[in-house]
Amino acid sequence: MGTPKPAVHRTVLAVDVSAFGGRRPVVQRAVRDGLYASVHGALAECDLAAEHVEDRGDGLFALLDAPKSRVLGRLPHVLAEHLRRHNATCAPAAAIRLRAALTAGSVQHDGNGWVGDDLVLAFRLLDAAPLREASRDSTGVLVLLVSREFFADVVHNDPAVVDRAAFRRVDVAVKEARTEAWLHVPDGRALPPKRHRRPRTGFRRPLPRPRRSAVAVALVLVLLLATDAVAALPVAPTCSDPVQLVVLSSTDKVDVVSRLAVAFERASRKANRLGCKEVDVLVSADRDRDAAEVLGRGWPGTGIAAHGAEPHVWLPDSGFEVARARALLESSTNAVALEDRGPVAHSPLVVGVSREQAGRVGRPDQAVRWHDLGALRFPDPDSGVGMVAAVAAAREALGGVNLAVPDAALRLHGLARRVVDAPGCAGEVAVVGSEAEVTGDRHCQVLYPVDTMVLDHPFVEVRWVKRPPNERRRRVVDRFLEWMRAPTAQHALRGARLRGLDWVAPGPGLRAGRVDPPAVPVDAGRARAAWDAAAAPARIAVADDGSPEAARLLGRLTAEFGPRDSLVRLGPGADTTGVTAVVLLGVPDAPRLARPGGGPVPVVGVGFGGGTCAPSTALYEASGGRYGACYEVVAGAEERVFLGVAARVWGA
Amino acid sequence: MTVRGVIAALVVVLVAGCTGPVVDEDAEGVGTITFVDGEDTSSGGQIKAAVDQWNTEHSDAEQVEFEQMPRSTDAYRAQLTARAQDLAGVPDRSAYRSECYDVMSVDMVWTADFARAGYLEPLAPARFGVDRMLPEAVRAATVDGTLWAVPWRADAGLLYYRKDVLDREGLEPPTTWGELEHQARTVAPKYGLDGYLGQFRRYEGLTVNASEAMWAHGGSPDRPADPGSKAGVRMLAGGFADGWIPQAALEYDEEASLVRFAEGKALFLRSWPYAVSRLRTTDLRDRFGRAALPGPAALGGWNLAVSRCSTHQKTARAFIAFLTNASTQSKLLVNAGYGPTVTELYRTESLALLRGIMAGARARPVGGHYDEVSGVMQVRLHGALKSPATADASMDVLAGEISAAREGR
Of B158, B166, B168, B155, which is closest to residue B288 (Cα–Cα)? B166
Cβ atoms of B384 and B394 within 8 Å: the answer is: yes
Judge whether residue B1 has pLDDT over 60. Answer: no
Cα–Cα distance measured from residue A450 to residue A372, given in angstroms and rounded to the nearest whole number = 11
The strand pair at A336-343 and A458-464 is best described as antiparallel
Strands (E), A475-555: 539-544
Greatest CA separation found in chain B?
70
pLDDT value of residue A177: 63
Pick from A29, A223, A241, A336 the residue to mutate for testing the B interface (most B CBs within 10 Å). A241
- Is pLDDT larger for residue A87 or for residue B356? B356
B-chain residues within 8 Å CB-CB of A85? 116-118
Q: What is the pLDDT of residues A236-270, one digit of tens each?
A: 456 778 999 999 999 999 999 999 999 999 898 88
- Smallest Cβ distance to A470: which of B86, B92, B404? B86
- Smallest Cβ distance to B409: which of A222, A277, A470? A277
- Smallest CA–CA separation between A26 and chain B, in Å? 5
**Residue A9, SS3 per DSSP:** strand
DSSP secondary structure letters along A168-226: EEEEEE-SS-EEEEEEE-SSS-B--TTS------TTSSPPPPPPHHHHHHHHHHHHHS-
Cα–Cα distance measured from residue B241 to residue B223, given in angstroms and rounded to the nearest whole number = 24
- Is pLDDT larger for residue A618 or for residue A652? A618
Region of poorest pLDDT, from B24-28, B74-78, B310-314: B24-28
pLDDT value of residue A15: 92
pLDDT value of residue A225: 41
Cα–Cα distance measured from residue A464 to residue A309, given in angstroms and rounded to the nearest whole number = 13
Q: What's the predicted TM-score (pTM) here?
A: 0.73
pLDDT value of residue A236: 44
Sign of CA dihedral B42, B48, B49, B53: positive
Cβ atoms of B332 and B188 within 8 Å: the answer is: no
- Is pLDDT larger for residue A570 or for residue B66? B66
Q: What is the mean pLDDT of residues A271-297?
A: 90
Nearest residue on chain B to A268, judged by CA atoms? B409
Q: What is the mean pLDDT of residues B150-166?
A: 96
A-chain residues within 8 Å CB-CB of B142? none
Interchain CB distance below 8 Å, B91 and A218:
no
Q: What is the pLDDT of residues A401-453, one digit of tens each?
A: 788 888 888 888 989 888 888 888 988 899 999 999 999 888 899 999 988 99
Q: What is the pLDDT of residues A340-364, one digit of tens each?
A: 999 999 999 999 999 888 888 877 7
Nearest residue on chain A to B142, judged by CA atoms? A89
Q: What is the mean pLDDT of residues B26-43?
A: 84
Q: In what order do the strands lie in the sheet with A313-315?
A: A279-286, A243-250, A313-315, A458-464, A336-343
Q: What is the mean pLDDT of residues A612-637?
A: 85
- Smallest Cβ distance to B74: which of A214, A282, A467? A282
Residue A471: count of CB within 10 angstroms of its CB:
13
Q: Which residues pair with A61 in a beta bridge?
A: A14, A54
What's phi and psi for A230, nearest 5 deg? -80, -40
Cα–Cα distance measured from residue A142 to residue A162, given in angstroms and rounded to the nearest whole number = 17
Residue A40: count of CB within 10 angstroms of its CB:
19
Interchain CB distance below 8 Å, A218 and B14:
yes
Q: Which residues pair with B155 in a beta bridge?
A: B300
End-to-end CA distance of chain A: 86
- Is pLDDT larger for residue A209 or for residue A151? A151
Q: What is the mean pLDDT of chain A?
A: 83
Burial grade of A497 (CB within 10 A; 0-12, 13-18, 19 or more): buried
Judge whether residue A67 has pLDDT over 90. Answer: no
pLDDT value of residue A634: 86
Region of poorest pLDDT, from A238-247, B78-87, B391-400: A238-247
Q: What is the mean pLDDT of residues B276-303?
A: 93
pLDDT confidence of B192, banded at 50, 70, 90? very high
pLDDT value of residue A237: 54
- Smallest Cβ distance to A470: which of B12, B85, B407? B85
Cα–Cα distance measured from residue A109 to residue A94, given in angstroms and rounded to the nearest whole number = 34
pLDDT value of residue B14: 40
Cβ atoms of A14 and A120 within 8 Å: the answer is: no
List, as ranges, residues 233-272 from A with C-beta within 8 Å of B.
233, 238-246, 269
- Smallest Cβ distance to A301: which of B23, B67, B113? B67
- Smallest CA–CA separation between B97 and chain A, in Å? 10
Judge whether residue A334 has pLDDT over 90. Answer: no
Nearest residue on chain B to A215, judged by CA atoms? B14
Sign of CA dihedral A525, A530, A534, A539: positive
pLDDT value of residue B87: 93
Q: What is the pLDDT of residues A94-109, one digit of tens each?
A: 888 899 999 998 888 8
Q: What SS3 string covers A549-600?
A: HHHHHHHHHHHCCCCCCEEEECCCCCCCCCCCEEEEECCCCCCCCECCCCCE
- Smallest Cβ distance to B14: which of A26, A89, A305? A26
Region of poorest pLDDT, from A15-29, A134-148, A209-223: A209-223
pLDDT value of residue A188: 60
Nearest residue on chain A to B79, judged by CA atoms? A309
pLDDT value of residue B233: 97
Cα–Cα distance measured from residue A650 to residue A470, given in angstroms and rounded to the nearest whole number = 48
Interchain CB distance below 8 Å, B17 and A466:
no
Interface pTM, i.e. ipTM: 0.85
B-chain residues within 8 Å CB-CB of A32? none
Interchain CB distance below 8 Å, A221 and B10:
yes
Instruction: Give the HSE-up count for residue B391: Cα atoms under 13 Å, Cβ half-sphere.
Output: 26
- Smallest Cβ distance to B8: which of A84, A225, A269? A225
Interchain CB distance below 8 Å, A468 and B96:
yes
Percent of chain B exceeding pLDDT 90 equals 75
A-chain residues within 8 Å CB-CB of B23? 205, 208
Judge whether residue A206 has pLDDT over 70. Answer: no
For chain B, say whether A225 makes contact (Cβ under 8 Å).
Answer: yes
A636: left (phi over 0), alpha (psi -120 to 50) or beta: left
pLDDT value of residue A238: 65
For chain B, say whether A189 makes contact (Cβ under 8 Å).
Answer: yes
The strand pair at A566-569 and A367-368 is best described as unpaired
- Smallest CA–CA separation between B321 and chain A, in Å? 21
Interchain CB distance below 8 Å, B16 and A80:
no
Residue A304: count of CB within 10 angstroms of its CB:
22
For chain B, say whether A129 makes contact (Cβ under 8 Å).
Answer: no
pLDDT value of residue A477: 97
Percent of chain A exceeding pLDDT 90 equals 30
- Is pLDDT larger for residue B294 or for residue A40? B294
- Smallest Cβ distance to A221: which of B7, B24, B72? B7
Q: How many CB pairs under 8 A join A and B?
A: 185
Contacts of A111 (CB under 8 A, 6+ apart): A1, A2, A3, A4
Cβ atoms of A388 and A349 within 8 Å: the answer is: yes
Burial grade of A36 (CB within 10 A; 0-12, 13-18, 19 or more): middle
pLDDT value of residue A77: 85
Cα–Cα distance measured from residue A268 to residue A407, given in angstroms and rounded to the nearest whole number = 56
pLDDT confidence of A27, banded at 50, 70, 90? confident
Cα–Cα distance measured from residue A43 to residue A607, given in angstroms and rounded to the nearest whole number = 81
- Smallest Cβ distance to B17: which of A94, A276, A307? A94
Cβ atoms of A122 and A179 within 8 Å: the answer is: no
Percent of chain A exceeding pLDDT 70 equals 91
Interchain CB distance below 8 Å, B85 and A305:
no
pLDDT confidence of A2, banded at 50, 70, 90? low
Q: What is the mean pLDDT of residues A280-302?
A: 91
pLDDT value of residue A209: 40
Q: What is the mean pLDDT of residues A14-41?
A: 83
B-chain residues within 8 Å CB-CB of A186? 89, 91
pLDDT value of residue A168: 85
Q: What is the mean pLDDT of residues B385-398?
A: 91
Judge whether residue B26 has pLDDT over 50. Answer: no
Of B311, B272, B330, B356, which is closest to residue B152 (Cα–Cα)? B330
Q: Find the DSSP H helices in B88-134.
A: 108-117, 125-128
Interchain CB distance below 8 Å, B116 and A241:
yes
- Is pLDDT larger for residue B324 or for residue B88? B324
For chain B, say whether A205 makes contact (Cβ under 8 Å).
Answer: yes
Cα–Cα distance measured from residue B264 to residue B277, given in angstroms and rounded to the nearest whole number = 16
The strand pair at B158-162 and A347-353 is best described as unpaired
CA distances from A122 to A16, A109, A167 (A): 11, 17, 17
